Amino acid sequence: MALSLTPSAATDKSVLDRYMKLDQGDRVQAMYVWIDGSGEGLRGKTRTLETEPKDIKELPTWNFDGSSTGQAEGSNSDMYLKPVAMFRDPFRLGKNKLVLCEVFKYDWRPAETNHRLKCNEAHQASVDSHPWYGIEQEYTLLDHDGHPFGWPKQGFPGPQGPYYCGVGANKVYGRDIVEAHYRACLYAGVKIAGSNAEVMPAQWEFQVGPCEGIDMGDHLWMARYILHRVAEDFGVIVTFDPKPMVGDWNGAGAHTNFSTIGMRNPGGIKDIEDAIERLSHRHAYHIAMYDPKQGADNARRLTGLHETSSIHDFSAGVANRGASIRIPRHVGEDGCGYLEDRRPSSNCDPYLVTEAIVRTVVLGETDKKQ
Q: Give the domain CATH number at 27.
A: 3.10.20.70
Q: Put residue 247 in one of left, alpha, beta given phi > 0 → left and psi -120 to 50 → alpha.
A: left
> Tell me: the pLDDT tens digits for 120-140?
999 999 999 999 999 999 999
Buried b (16+ CB within 10 A) or exposed e, 222-245: bbbbbbbbbbbebbbbbbbbbbbb
Last residue of a domain, one of 113, 145, 169: 113
Q: List the domain range (segments joined by +) for residue 52.
A: 3-113
Q: Which amino acid is at 53?
A: P
User: Treating both helix axes as pointing N-terminal to C-terminal, what angle do 350-361 and 269-280 enclose, rounded to 10 degrees?
Assistant: 110
Torsions phi, psi of 139, nearest 5? Answer: -160, 165
Last residue of a domain, one of 113, 135, 158: 113
Q: Let me know whether 246 and 356 are in one domain.
A: yes
Q: Let me know whether 69 and 214 are in one domain.
A: no
Instruction: Report which of 151, 205, 184, 217 is spatially closest to residue 3, judged by C-alpha positions.
Output: 151
Q: Let me know whether 106 and 155 are in one domain.
A: no
Instruction: Report which of 175, 297, 185 is spatially closest to residue 236, judged by C-alpha positions.
Output: 175
Q: Let me know whether 187 and 234 are in one domain.
A: yes
Alpha-carbon distance 272 to 265, whole Å? 11
Alpha-carbon distance 258 to 211, whole Å? 10
Buried b (16+ CB within 10 A) or exposed e, 168-206: eeebbbbeebbebbbebbeebebbbeebebbbbbbbbbb
Quote the pTM value: 0.95
pLDDT in tens, the chain (370 residues): 345 456 666 788 889 999 999 999 999 999 999 999 999 999 999 999 999 999 999 999 999 999 999 998 877 889 999 999 999 999 999 999 999 999 999 999 999 999 999 999 999 999 999 999 999 999 999 998 899 999 998 889 999 999 999 999 999 999 999 999 999 999 999 999 999 999 999 999 999 999 999 999 999 999 999 999 999 999 999 999 999 999 889 999 999 999 999 999 999 999 999 999 999 999 999 999 999 999 999 999 999 887 888 999 999 988 787 899 999 999 999 999 999 999 999 999 999 999 999 999 999 999 754 4
Q: Does residue 226 form part of some domain?
A: yes
Q: Does residue 368 form part of some domain?
A: no
- Cβ neighbors of 211 (< 8 A, separation 6 or more) are 132, 133, 134, 191, 218, 219
Q: Does residue 118 form part of some domain?
A: no
Q: Let me know whether 146 and 236 are in one domain.
A: yes
- Integer CA distances (angstroms), 35 to 40, 101, 177, in order: 7, 8, 23
Q: Let me know whether 108 and 127 are in one domain.
A: no
Task: Point out which residues pair with 79 in neighbouring strands.
Answer: 64
Q: Are strands 254-259 and 132-142 parallel, antiparallel or unpaired?
A: antiparallel
Q: Let me know whether 97 and 132 are in one domain.
A: no
Name the helix (H) or strand (E) containing 43.
Answer: strand 42-49
Q: Does residue 367 form part of some domain?
A: no
**Counted domains in the chain:** 2
Give the chain's length. 370
Last residue of a domain, one of 113, 145, 177: 113
> Tell me: the pLDDT tens digits for 175-213?
999 999 999 999 999 999 999 999 999 999 999 999 999
Q: Let me know whether 167 and 293 are in one domain.
A: yes
